[in-house]
Structure 1
Amino acid sequence: MIARLRTRLPFLRPRPDDAAEVDEVAAVVERLAVLLSAGVPSATAWRYLSEAGGSNMLAAAASAAGRGEPIALALDEAIRAQGPSAPSDGREAREARGPAGRRERAGGWAVLAAAWAVASESGAPLTTSLRELGAALRDEAQLRREIRTSLAGPTASARMVLALPLVALAFGSVLGFDTATVLLGNPVGLICLVLGVAFLVVARRWSRSLAARAAAFDDGAGLELELLAIAMAGGASVERARRCVVDALAAQRIPVRGEGAVVETVALAERAGAPLVDLLRAEARRLRRIARTEAATRGAALGVRLMLPLGVCVLPAFVLLGVAPLLISVVTGTLGGAA
């Protein structure tokens, strides 16, 4: 019965865990690295994983590998068939988006497809590349879970506070005050009802917007640097590696956002004569740490920021829906008794 209700009512469905998909892809990447390092051919490795996991993505990749077709292209077609990647709450995403519109997420399977395309094009050793990619995906999954954990407390508190006006309304009815009649049958009560509901709607939207902004983070932090390191590990020149990475990201519809960090890292490697691959991976790890710190900071500040809709909207709604009907009921009852 509960399962049917959750299926038919969207607000009862459990929120999907974004970290689970990234963890799933990380596990696939790590298993691929182990199988390839053991000498298992690429097509056979994909087939083994498909038989063990049963995912549509794995089945598409295994089928393409068995036919000798590009695996990245097969993964891209499977991603398109599955539908666009979206945050766990679409309404929050619409409220959190900026003037430029919604930014597409770098989903785990899209990242794997891009990395596989880069490694195949540049001739990079797949085992090493996959191990580095698996570590990066594990970092991203951990970051997603940390954000969700830090937001759980403030979000639950906001939901409880938003319910206080309705609780006060029900409590007045239990005490014997005819609050429902006052709100629906009295002109002043109708005004209180309309204003109170309006305040609650604004408070709910405001709270969700604050939570969505706190949950937003750069899920592609360091990705371009990581892919460039993979391409460089295959012996490609800097220009060819960058072109390969840009093409792979464009094929998976992942925006390029690390151009400045790439230029700075390449310039540092040229001046110092240091290994560019190691510098790129170190810079990618640094960017992921920065993303984690910024996300944790926003999560910690969310509890304080949620006080704004509480003070501006929820408290007036509490007075209008909970306190005002009681006072009106008492006054009208007193005047009616006196008459």
Structure 2
Amino acid sequence: MSGQAPGRPRLVDRLAGRKRPDPADEVDAIAAVTERLAVLLAAGVPAPSAWSNVGADSISGADADVLAVAATAARLGDPVAPAIVDSLPARPEASAAWPVLAAAWGVAAESGAPLAGSLRELAAVLRDEAQLRREVRAALAGPAASARLVMALPAIAVLFGATLGFDTLGVLFGNPIGLACLALGLASLWGGHRWNLALAARAGRSRVDAGLELELLAIAMSSGSSIDRARALTRDTIVRFVPHAGDGAEVDAVLGLAARAGAPVAELLRAEAFRLRRAARSAGVERAAALGVRLMLPLGLCVLPAFVLLGVAPLMISVVTGTLGGAR
């Protein structure tokens, strides 16, 4: 459920020219829900009441449906985390941050860790991810606009030829060679468009669950649980709710370091989680910055040939046929 590429559909839609909300909004909305839950629980509000009132005016659509499912589960005394995750397949438009909130809630509830403090820490993590998405979106804006402009060049060439008095449209639709140019040109445009979308999707891919297992283990240990029990609970939660968050190798490395150095495990876990989130942010910004260069490939191999086939070749054919016709 969390294996989806958060932010990918919206970034692709932006390159395709379709208007979509800020890709950080979906994460920010869940961060706001998380913060409100923390405040209400710290004030002594029971969990069912907190879930019922926390997001009435802050989220809508599929996210509001998921929140209603969580509130119903809390009111009935059922586990909230499984209810959230089980409701997501039927709501593909819901935020990718829901499994992260569900995992944190499940670990805190089962380990007996302070829910309010755990949710405050999770909200900070989600805000950090939302900021990463904004930075990546800003870095992608220029290349995406350039790609849309370049894709329009063949159409501009056709209109330019017609404006100058050449029968480019007649050649494209009424001449066998023109029809071949039209077919090849449109195929090249389609290929370049799909290639652009794939490059943008790869550049805009981000992970809302970076460092999550480390954070969850720190939450579990804040309850006073032993390392072994907290580790087992965290791994089970990751496998159930956020299966693509990692294989636990980072956790094992931190635990090994703590055992060798005798350092506080929770602090090391949070420091490593912070490092992983910063690394994810840097990688995302670097991919976005490199997109402008990578877009030169579909430009050179697809769009420019389409420009020649749809704009230049019909013009030349029109000139040649007009000259030969005049000579006769």
TM-score if structure 2 supplies the norm length?
A: 0.88
Distance in 2 separating the partners of 1:226 and 1:174? 63
The superposition leaves residues 242-272 of structure 1 with CA deviations (integer Å, 9 ceiling, x where unpaired) of 2212222233253241522111101111112
Deviation of 1:122 after TM superposition, in Å, equals 0.8
- Find the counterpart in structure 2 of residue 29 from structure 1: 34
Distance in 2 separating the partners of 1:261 and 1:251? 19
The superposition leaves residues 86-137 of structure 1 with CA deviations (integer Å, 9 ceiling, x where unpaired) of xxxxxxxxxxxxxxxxxxxx82111111111100111111111111100001
In structure 2, relative to structure 1, the CA distance for the partners of 1:49 and 1:84 (3 Å cut) is closer
User: Of 38, 42, 48, which residue of structure 2 is paired with 1:43?
Assistant: 48
Name the SS for the 1:69 alignment partner.
coil
Gaps of 5+ in 1: 1-10, 86-105
Distance in 2 separating the partners of 1:189 and 1:81? 48
- Any conservation in 2 of the 1:225–1:258 contact (CA below 8 Å)? no
1:141 aligns with 2:130: yes
1:158 aligns with 2:163: no
The superposition leaves residues 203-243 of structure 1 with CA deviations (integer Å, 9 ceiling, x where unpaired) of 11221111111112333210111111111111222222122
Distance in 2 separating the partners of 1:51 and 1:338? 78
Name the SS for the 2:244 alignment partner.
coil
- Find the counterpart in structure 2 of residue 277 from structure 1: 266
Moved more, 140-149 or 62-71: 62-71
- Find the counterpart in structure 2 of residue 5 from structure 1: none
Aligned residues: 309
- Find the counterpart in structure 2 of residue 100 from structure 1: none
- Any conservation in 2 of the 1:28–1:49 contact (CA below 8 Å)? yes
Which structure 2 residues correspond to residues 213-228 of structure 1 after superposition, within 5 A? 213-228=202-217
Residue identity matched to 1:39: G
The superposition leaves residues 44-69 of structure 1 with CA deviations (integer Å, 9 ceiling, x where unpaired) of 22233255557222322222222222
1:292 aligns with 2:281: yes
In structure 2, relative to structure 1, the CA distance for the partners of 1:162 and 1:52 (3 Å cut) is closer
Deviation of 1:27 after TM superposition, in Å, equals 0.6
- Find the counterpart in structure 2 of residue 80 from structure 1: 89
In structure 2, relative to structure 1, the CA distance for the partners of 1:254 and 1:14 (3 Å cut) is farther
- Any conservation in 2 of the 1:224–1:258 contact (CA below 8 Å)? no
Distance in 1 separating the partners of 2:49 and 2:27? 23
Name the SS for the 1:81 alignment partner.
coil
Name the SS for the 1:220 alignment partner.
coil
Distance in 2 separating the partners of 1:206 and 1:312? 10
User: Of 111, 116, 119, which residue of structure 2 is paired with 1:130?
Assistant: 119
Moved more, 258-267 or 44-53: 44-53
Distance in 2 separating the partners of 1:205 and 1:292? 26
The superposition leaves residues 265-310 of structure 1 with CA deviations (integer Å, 9 ceiling, x where unpaired) of 0111111211111111111110000000011111111111111111
1:239 aligns with 2:244: no
Query: Higher relative contact order at CA 8 Å, sep ≥6: structure 1 or structure 2?
Result: 2
1:188 aligns with 2:193: no
In structure 2, relative to structure 1, the CA distance for the partners of 1:109 and 1:256 (3 Å cut) is closer
- Find the counterpart in structure 1 of residue 3 from structure 2: none
Gaps of 5+ in 2: 1-15
- Any conservation in 2 of the 1:222–1:258 contact (CA below 8 Å)? no
What RMSD, in angstroms, separates the aligned Cα atoms of the two structures? 1.9
Distance in 2 separating the partners of 1:142 and 1:173? 47
- Find the counterpart in structure 1 of residue 13 from structure 2: none
- Find the counterpart in structure 2 of residue 199 from structure 1: 188
Distance in 2 separating the partners of 1:26 and 1:84? 17
In structure 2, relative to structure 1, the CA distance for the partners of 1:123 and 1:216 (3 Å cut) is same
Moved more, 218-227 or 262-271: 218-227
Residue identity matched to 1:32: L
Distance in 1 separating the partners of 2:66 and 2:259? 40
The superposition leaves residues 69-98 of structure 1 with CA deviations (integer Å, 9 ceiling, x where unpaired) of 21112222332332476xxxxxxxxxxxxx
In structure 2, relative to structure 1, the CA distance for the partners of 1:80 and 1:218 (3 Å cut) is closer
- Any conservation in 2 of the 1:222–1:283 contact (CA below 8 Å)? yes
Distance in 1 separating the partners of 2:118 and 2:104? 8
